Chains A and B, each alone.
Chain A
Amino acid sequence: MLKITNLHANIGDKEILKGINLEVKPGEIHAIMGPNGSGKSTLSSVIAGREDYEITAGHIDFEGEDLSDLGAEERAHKGIFLSFQYPVEIPGVTVTNFIKTAINETRKARGEEPMPANIMLKQMREKMGLLEIDSAFLSRSLNAGFSGGEKKRNEIFQMAMLEPKLAILDETDSGLDIDALRIVASGVNKLRSKDNAIIVITHYQRLLEHIVPDFVHVLHKGRIVKSGDKNLALELEAKGYDWLKEEAAV
């Protein structure tokens, strides 16, 4: 589904990603861990198509197609979803209006008719139930005045509505208390299928107790320095990152 080959990316003159290789197949969950500043968020932004970054070498293929010439919205239309670490507050646009616009623009791009309002409403109710979201939420301004937990839940709610093929969850656990974490994780798990894939970006093991990864990768200084299964995350939790930094330095 996603194939990243020797990806180098800069912001300004500074090289952040220095040769990433990663392959994600349908049905898989990959966790990307690593210390602050290792390039985790850059990687997710580059996949989603943020223009501040320049790809200097390598490429990203999604379902066999090179993404580099596609804008962020075109990538979304192809089924890529990024859950933001810091969801943006947009006063004046309600959650409903935003989701409705996002869904119908995506359908338009795919040559489909707009989703009928009653079906959209039904889906919203269903997905809200999944994430234990109150219906009053829909008429609030997008993320404006939301608590950290509400913002993250809103991200997963949007993911549930947009049904992406590849979802990248960038530090979705940050700012969540343990109950909210459980709700969000169970929501994500219910959305799993053999056809879609998830990349979980996180500092900590705790989210991975709920969303169990098939693969764990450790990012350090813009490279994947170690890959393994879910046990690697436990090892990191116990030993920290220093031993890997040393290993990488050798």
Chain B
Amino acid sequence: MEALKDKLESSFLVLENELNGQADTAVHGLRREAFKRFLQMGFPTKRHEEWRYTNLKPILKHDYRIFPKEDTSVEFKDIKRFFLSDQDTYKLVFVDGVYSSWLSQTTHQGFDVCTFSNMLDKYKEVSDEYFAKALPKEEALAAVNTAFAKEGAFIRIKKNITADKPVELLFVSTDHGHEIMTQPRNLVVVEENAEVTIIERHQSLSKSAVLTNTATEIFALRDSRLNYYKIQNDNETASIIDSTSVKQYRNSSVNVGTFSFGNKLIRNNLNFFIEEEHTESILDGITIIGDGQTVDHHTLVDHKVPNCYSDEMYKGIFDGNANGVFSGKVMVHPHAQKTNAFQKNNNVLLTDKASIDTKPQLEIYADDVKCSHGCTIGQLDDEALFYMMSRGIPEKEGKALLLYAFANDALRNVKLPALRKRLNKQIAIKLNVNLDFEL
């Protein structure tokens, strides 16, 4: 861990030397400040309350390259499978942290689907207003990302515009025979009464260890609507730490779906900051993992103002010796009257070795609110299984159908048919059955 910290320190100097006169910009000031914070905090250990259940040590001990060599050998056929089929989309593709224009399909017509670096170059007013304004300062990994923030997606949907196609973000890591660490940084601004759907994936094409330390800041301005889906299904030498913070303004509606099936370790820090009234915030998640895998969801919904609605539903299925963590904080401030905040975390453990630590935390300081939370940890219902078997459905398929049904609720806000189909198929694959669920 100390070795990686030292490496990041020297790498930060390299980054500064390459800035060519941009070292005095406001953005770089924020980078510097973030890096200083990281140096003070260090990497989190299990002694930190927010990291009690997940040990980062095995992930941080690798000798990652911080600035991988540019790789231009990736072709569309290598990554086609990661995109939705039968669905035209805007695409932003990054290879080892570097933007790949020939694999991407961007736009500036009516709205911007382009790169973070482009935004830094051309839209100073945007970076001044939004960069590093949503992520909490006390998250060490988010601070590292901010310090190294150079590239990623920039999506700005302008006022009164509904994006004509969904946007797919794909971050690919390639095999250099080296372990690599990337720091993708995304900024999403959905302006007044605008709407967009975004799908984000990180995929390693390498057998070496990959650590993706990604951060995304989302600003949903008044009356805007955003659907943001994360598909986390990378190979088992890849780990991801994802810090995503959303700021919501009056009458906006934001839905973040996190679907975690792969990777060695996944840590999601998902924060919603409710800045103005009459917002709707939806957080859904499905986790299906097995041997050697860890998925840790930390969520926060910060109700600072009255008359807002939030609904959170996370489902987990844990096989083999998989580890799951769910920590869901809902904060209702004293002035946030008439808040409706709901949270559910339901888990099924398929073996004695699988584990889940689930910690709902509701802190409610207002008295006229409707809030509920429920956590369950269970096994499959034997009675339901017998019912299915008595109708001719074999045990394996019966179990899969029950698990599918259990998880399926959390697809409630996936409206895009191509994505729904993809997720359904993925769930069937993870449950190791071939059932035709679409009817």
Q: Do they bind each other?
A: yes
Type the 1/0 row for A30-53, where 1 means its CB is closer than 8 Å to any CB of B: 000000000000000000111100
* CB-contact partner of B395 in A73, A81, A158, A162, under 8 A: A73
Interface check A92, CB cutoff 8 A? yes
Which of A93-101, A191-199, A208-216, A237-245 touches B?
A: A93-101
> Which chain A residue shows the least CB distance to B397?
A105
For residue A118, give the distance in angstroms from its CB to the closest CB of chain B.
Answer: 13
Interface check A153, CB cutoff 8 A? no
* CB-contact partner of A101 in B384, B409, B435, under 8 A: B435
A103 and B392 alpha carbons, distance in the complex (Å): 7
* CB-contact partner of B392 in A50, A51, A87, A109, under 8 A: A109
Please indicate the chain A residues that have their CB under 8 angstroms from the CB of B383 in the complex: 88
Is B381 within 8 A of A102, CB to CB?
no
Please indicate the chain B residues that have their CB under 8 angstroms from the CB of A103 in the complex: 392
Q: A101-B435, A105-B397 are in contact. Are A76 and B391 (CB under 8 A)?
A: yes
Q: Which of A41-98 contact B (CB under 8 A)?
A: 48-51, 71-73, 75-77, 81-82, 84, 87-88, 90-94, 96-98
For residue B43, give the distance in angstroms from its CB to the closest CB of chain A.
Answer: 40
Is B391 within 8 A of A48, CB to CB?
no
For residue A250, give the distance in angstroms from its CB to the closest CB of chain B.
Answer: 38
Please indicate the chain B residues that have their CB under 8 angstroms from the CB of A71 in the complex: 389, 394-395
For residue A38, give the distance in angstroms from its CB to the closest CB of chain B.
Answer: 22
For residue B115, give the distance in angstroms from its CB to the closest CB of chain A.
Answer: 40
Please indicate the chain A residues that have their CB under 8 angstroms from the CB of B406 in the complex: 92
Q: A73-B389, A88-B387, A101-B435 are in contact. Are A93 and B394 (CB under 8 A)?
A: no
> Which chain B residue shows the least CB distance to A139?
B439
A93 and B390 alpha carbons, distance in the complex (Å): 16
A224 and B408 alpha carbons, distance in the complex (Å): 46
Is A100 within 8 A of B439, CB to CB?
yes
A105 and B397 alpha carbons, distance in the complex (Å): 9
Type the 1/0 row for B427-438, where 1 means its CB is closer than 8 Å to any CB of A: 000000001110
Is B390 within 8 A of A49, CB to CB?
yes
The number of chain A residues with a CB under 8 A from chain B is 34
> Which chain A residue shows the least CB distance to B384?
A88
Interface check A106, CB cutoff 8 A? yes
Interface check B393, CB cutoff 8 A? yes
User: In this complex, which of A71, A81, A102 has the most chain B Cβ atoms within 10 angstroms of its Cβ?
Assistant: A102
Interface check B401, CB cutoff 8 A? yes
Is A98 within 8 A of B402, CB to CB?
no
User: In this complex, which of A96, A101, A141 has the most chain B Cβ atoms within 10 angstroms of its Cβ?
Assistant: A101
Is A49 within 8 A of B389, CB to CB?
yes
A72 and B388 alpha carbons, distance in the complex (Å): 9
Is A92 within 8 A of B404, CB to CB?
yes
A48 and B387 alpha carbons, distance in the complex (Å): 10
For residue B439, give the distance in angstroms from its CB to the closest CB of chain A.
Answer: 5
Q: A90-B405, A92-B406, A101-B401 are in contact. Are A77 and B392 (CB under 8 A)?
A: yes
Interface check B386, CB cutoff 8 A? yes
Q: Which of A103-157 contact B (CB under 8 A)?
A: 103, 105-106, 109, 117, 141
A108 and B437 alpha carbons, distance in the complex (Å): 17
For residue B316, give the distance in angstroms from its CB to the closest CB of chain A.
Answer: 15
A84 and B389 alpha carbons, distance in the complex (Å): 12
Please indicate the chain B residues that have their CB under 8 angstroms from the CB of A88 in the complex: 381, 383-384, 387
Please indicate the chain B residues that have their CB under 8 angstroms from the CB of A90 in the complex: 384, 387-388, 401-402, 405
Is A105 within 8 A of B393, CB to CB?
yes
For residue B432, give the distance in angstroms from its CB to the closest CB of chain A.
Answer: 16
Q: A50-B386, A72-B386, A87-B387 are in contact. Are A92 and B392 (CB under 8 A)?
A: no
A82 and B387 alpha carbons, distance in the complex (Å): 9
Is B408 within 8 A of A92, CB to CB?
yes
A105 and B394 alpha carbons, distance in the complex (Å): 8
Is A162 within 8 A of B439, CB to CB?
no
Is A73 within 8 A of B439, CB to CB?
no
User: In this complex, which of B383, B384, B392 has the most chain A Cβ atoms within 10 angstroms of its Cβ?
Assistant: B392
For residue B424, give the distance in angstroms from its CB to the closest CB of chain A.
Answer: 12
**A-B contact sample (20 more), CB < 8 A, given A73-B391, A88-B387, A102-B393:** A48-B390, A73-B389, A73-B390, A73-B392, A73-B393, A73-B394, A76-B390, A82-B390, A84-B387, A87-B387, A88-B381, A90-B384, A90-B387, A90-B401, A92-B408, A92-B409, A98-B388, A102-B388, A102-B392, A103-B392
Enumerate chain B interface residues (CB-CB to A < 8 A). Answer: 381, 383-384, 386-395, 397-398, 401-402, 404-406, 408-409, 435-437, 439
8 residue pairs, one from A and one from B, having the closest CB atoms: A92-B405, A76-B392, A72-B389, A106-B392, A102-B391, A88-B387, A73-B389, A92-B408
17 CB contacts below 8 A, A to B, read: A48-B390, A49-B389, A49-B390, A50-B390, A71-B395, A72-B389, A73-B391, A81-B391, A87-B387, A90-B388, A90-B402, A92-B405, A92-B406, A103-B392, A105-B392, A105-B394, A109-B392
